[in-house]
Amino acid sequence: MKKPRIALDEPQPRKTIRADKAPTTGYSLVVDGHFKSHHATVESAEEAGMALKNRFQMLQVQVYDAENKTRSLIDWPGPA
């Protein structure tokens, strides 16, 4: 006879963020047309986008504003 499973043995459901749906709050990084990371402020999103752009200049990096549903392109200033 099998033992009944205890509810504690079952894994807790994870809150997954779908990359194919636009977020409804905050700011997100869009890399080559795909949502990648979510941030609470535009400054933190721009900082993360600039760090990514400094490492990989060939990527197209944008900051998506979920409330206004707008995107702003992050330009790489290039070598000085």
Q: Is the pLDDT of residue 36 over 80?
A: yes
CA dist 62 and 51 (Å) reads 12
- Please state the pTM of the whole predicted model: 0.70
Mean per-residue pLDDT of the chain: 84
Q: What is the predicted pLDDT for the residue at 3?
A: 75
Q: What is the dihedral of CA 47, 53, 56, 62, to 10 degrees?
A: 110
Contact 30, 20 (CB under 8 A): no
> What's the pLDDT at 59?
93
Confidence class for position 16, pLDDT limits 50, 70, 90: low
Yes or no: say if 23 and 66 are a contact pair by the CB < 8 Å rule: yes
